[in-house]
Amino acid sequence: MTTLVDRYVFTALRRVPEQQRSDIDRELRASIDDAVDARVEAGEARDAAIERTLLELGDPDRLADSYAGRSNYLIGPELYGVWRRSLLMLLTTVLPIVVVVVAVIEVFQDDATVGTVIGAAIGAILTVGVHMCFWTTLGFWIVERTGAGKDDLNVPWTLAKLPRYEAGALSRVELGANLLWPVLVTVALVLQQFTFTDVPLLDPANWTFWWPALIVLFALKGVWAVWVYRLGRWTRPVAVVNAALSAATTAVVVYLLAADKFINPDFPGFANADVDLRGWVSLAIIIAFVLSALWDIFDVARKAERARKGVPAQVPGSGNTYSII
């Protein structure tokens, strides 16, 4: 007859190497017997003593892992922080760039439509995102199990790693983002005209003035970001220049879209559509640009005004406040 102790021991033994089972069997049973005898001598009934002893030992699978010297987690606490930061960096920085590149390449295909572009972007998000998560986790799992390179990844924590909560202007990450998107948009604007397809997506007639003007505005936005980063604080001049750049860029785009001069009327993806696809896309771009510009102008102006007044701002995720300097 299989007893409760037998069931517990057998469950634990199935997770340890076969050559260790006999030794662990004897050791575990002896430990259980000693604990049960001690409880019985203290006045407990034997059945109750057995149950309480096994409950104190806990999950037999976890106990087996401790006997076998095996980690019962995928990535341990020593490397978890590095793994999390690495994965977040890939998903928030590298993945968006890959998706934009895939979407731009799809736009330049002869049979491209809005649906195929959106489908390609979604497919890139799912496929590339899953690969990033899998291979990053696999790499850290190998480091966790083998120990190779663990000391290099697990750099000791110091006070210098504490984040700074003083209100500044742009962090390095934000500066990088503000410099990256104008470059990507400019490259896409040039490539769609001269590569991938014989018929560009955007109206080539605008290269006489409007496309170069937009490129200049994008470049000025990057210069503005560098200025704000070096200045280190939000000010009214910063807000005014940002508002002027955002308004000018939006005005150019809205004018071209409203005048039907933005999208190339000969582009196959729109020329062969049964509905006024070009009109709907133009309307969607106008709405997106206007809303984005309004938020950008408001957000920077709000930060500048709060900095001027020295109004305390809340630390995200807590109830604490800090003074804007």
Q: Is the model more confident about 153 or about 80? A: 80
Q: Is the pLDDT of residue 124 over 90?
A: no
- pLDDT of the residue at 319: 47
247, 296 contact by CB (below 8 A): no
State residue 98's pLDDT score.
80
Least confident of 38-42, 151-155, 159-163, 170-174: 159-163
The rounded distance, in Å, linking the Cα atoms of 113 and 292 is 24
* pLDDT value of position 56: 86
Going by pLDDT thresholds of 50, 70 and 90, the confidence category of residue 297 is very high
Average pLDDT over residues 183-212: 79
* 290 compared with 96, residue with greater pLDDT: 290
The stretch 119-126 carries a mean pLDDT of 82
Nearest one of 237, 219, 207, 234 to 308, comparing CA atoms: 234
Confidence band of 67 (pLDDT split at 50, 70, 90) = confident
pLDDT at 264 over 80: no
* In the predicted structure, residue 220 carries a pLDDT above the cut 50: yes
Mean predicted lDDT score pLDDT of the chain: 77
pLDDT tier, 183 (very low <50, low <70, confident <90, very high otherwise): confident
At how many degrees (to 10) do helices 60-68 and 4-13 cross?
50
The stretch 95-113 carries a mean pLDDT of 74
Place 324 in a pLDDT band, splitting at 50, 70 and 90. Answer: very low
First-residue to last-residue Cα distance in the chain: 76
Report which listed range, 111-115, 162-166, 216-220, 259-263, is most confident. 216-220
Q: What is the pLDDT of residue 175?
A: 80
73 vs 92: which has the higher pLDDT? 92
Long-range contacts of 57-64 (CB under 8 A, 24+ apart): 57/8, 57/32, 60/8, 60/9, 60/11, 60/12, 60/15, 61/11, 61/12, 61/15, 63/12, 63/28, 64/12, 64/13, 64/14, 64/15, 64/16, 64/24
Asked whether 270 and 263 are in contact (CB, 8 A), the reply is yes
Percentage of the chain with pLDDT > 90? 9
In this prediction, residue 270 carries a pLDDT of 59
Selected residue with higher pLDDT from 169 and 1: 169
Element (H, E) at 83: helix 77-89
Task: Please determine, for residue 35, whether its predicted confidence score (pLDDT) is greater than 80.
Answer: yes
User: Closest by alpha carbon to 270, among 203, 194, 191, 184?
Assistant: 203
